[in-house]
Amino acid sequence: MVKVRKRAEKRLDVQTVGRNRIPGVAFTKEMKDGYTILVPMMAPIHFSMLKNILHDQGYRVELLENSGQAIVEEGLKYVHNDTCYPALLIIGQMLDAIKSGKYDENKIAFLMSQTGGGCRASNYIYLLRRALKKAGYGHIPVVSFNVSGMEKSSGFRLTIPLIFKLITAIVYGDGLMAMNNQIKAYEIEKGRSARLVEHWISRLTSQFNEGEGFTIPQMQNNFREMAATFTAIPCEHKPKVKVGIVGEIYVKYASLGNNNLEEFLAEQDCEVMVPGLLDFALYTLDAKPENSRLYGGNTISALVCEAISRYFQRMQKVMIDTIALYPNFIAPPSFSHTKSLVEGVIGTGCLMGEGWLLTAEMLELVENGYGNIVCTQPFGCLPNHICGKGMIRKIREREPLANIVPIDYDPSATKVNQENRIKLMLAVARENMRHEQEANKKQNKPDVPAPSRQGTDPFGQLGRMIPRLSIVSMLN
Ligand code: SF4
């Protein structure tokens, strides 16, 4: 078997990929046809659409959703145990997938993102190649997903039109996620909102395949209809504890990274809000102009990044403005507003990991009524411990009712321990909600404002049909 693999490595022309000296197998044009590219799942709504777009470009992509303790064990076996937890999990998940026997190891490739910043996320790919080699799978190609030109492979190209398509899908994903989160906690018939998400993913995919859904007017139409269809889901009017999730990008979104945090919070009868993925892309784009402003340097690339960012922010504005027309939804804030919130709290030159964006997302959630926050922190993540856990005191100075709990995720942290800490935070949240309800009663204010669904669909579509909840800010 070892000999067969060695022969395969030779045949596949093992070469040094990129500037790094760790050898890897290049993903060639010829592989595009017969190979399946395996991608670790992170944000399910967004990644499903990204997968469909890549599929339309001729790539056979599969999202890895295997889970369980075996993944952590695989990761610990092949990655040094002081490596960031997300890297350990992603690499463990990939190795677990190969060993599951579900895939032909000579016909798969892995795709991994490289952020290109100063953080270790730029180097995960080398850790993966090393782990694959150590495990005897050095012949499997690893494709780098990055927009900073760090590694190029002839078989996978991120062209400018493709990047724009992927970003459009992320904007749709943010809108869908925001609306789904605000409905699913209150829906009368469980699962309706999730089915609607599926419907929209397939509908948008069909549009993408036809080359539609990418222009601003088409996006406007889609968001209008999307909001109307979510509005039409019958909901019960019951005040719930509203919880926001922030943290390092992988543990924030991936259920594998955060031990099914969203599911746990739903079981605890909470409404959950997770800030959008586009903001992370905009934050990454913002690094160049920010660095150039603070330290000087290449102003041309800073100007290009600013121009691209402006375009993406325009798409974000379409999503925000359309959702904002429906008063029972809280529309996600714009990137520029989120950025403005950190003034006087943390410098915008703080760009390692999630940097200032992590602090900003906590402030943004408090502002929108999600003052109960779980700040997910992976083991080995110094930048996010500083900008997350390290900023809690400062945030509470500005927002005294912010109820934030930092939770560490690492191979040895038990789920029970994490959930007990979250339950303590929820106990405080429920107490705050009770006080607020009592105060409302004294002032003859309703706990949940009367449903105003009728006629709140500004386009006179499905929103007229069914009344549903109104949102209460616990911290007002
Ligand atoms: S952000 Fe944290 S977890 Fe991610 S690469 Fe950097 S140090 Fe590691």
* CA 311 remoteness from chain centre: 20
Residue 106 forms part of a structural domain = yes
Split into its structural domains, the chain has a count of 1
pLDDT band at 298 (very low <50, low <70, confident <90, very high): confident
For residue 241, give the nearest of 268, 216, 217 by alpha carbon.
268
Determine the 3-state secondary structure of 82 from DSSP.
coil
Residue 173 forms part of a structural domain = no
Dist. CA 379 → ligand 1 center (Å): 9
- Which residues have CB under 8 Å from 418's CB, separation 6+? 259, 407, 408, 409
If one residue of 251, 253, 381 were mutated to test the ligand 1 pocket, choosing by the most ligand atoms within 8 A of its CB, it would be 381
Phi, psi of 201 (to 5 degrees): -65, -45
Q: What percent of the chain has pLDDT over 70?
A: 89
- 384 ligand 1 Cβ < 6 A: yes
Dist. CA 121 → ligand 1 center (Å): 6
Residue 316 forms part of a structural domain = no
Residue 353 forms part of a structural domain = no
Check pLDDT > 80 for residue 22: no
Residue 9 forms part of a structural domain = yes
Check pLDDT > 90 for residue 6: no
**Orientation of helix 160-184 relative to helix 44-56, angle to 10°:** 150
Report the range of poorest mean pLDDT among 59-63, 67-71, 126-130, 438-442: 438-442
Residue 469 forms part of a structural domain = no
Domain that holds residue 132: 2-158
pLDDT tens per residue, range 221-269 = 999 999 999 999 999 988 999 999 999 999 999 999 999 999 999 999 9
For residue 348, give the nearest of 295, 398, 397 by alpha carbon.
295
Cβ-in-10-Å burial (0-12, 13-18, 19+) of 138 comes to buried
Residue 134 forms part of a structural domain = yes
Check pLDDT > 80 for residue 280: yes
CATH classification at residue 118 = 3.40.50
Q: Which two tokens stand for residue 137?
A: 């799978």
pLDDT tens per residue, range 132-174 = 999 999 999 999 988 777 777 878 989 999 999 999 999 999 9
pLDDT band at 468 (very low <50, low <70, confident <90, very high): very low
Check pLDDT > 80 for residue 449: no
Query: For residue 442, what pLDDT is reported?
Result: 86
Dist. CA 250 → ligand 1 center (Å): 9
- 383 ligand 1 Cβ < 6 A: yes
Q: How far is CA 219 from CA 38, 160, 176, 315, in A?
A: 29, 19, 12, 8
Query: For residue 15, what pLDDT is reported?
Result: 45
Closest atom of ligand 1 to CA, residue 251 = 3
Query: For residue 447, what pLDDT is reported?
Result: 63
113 beta partners = 145
Residue 425 forms part of a structural domain = no
Q: What is the mean pLDDT of residues 204-231?
A: 95
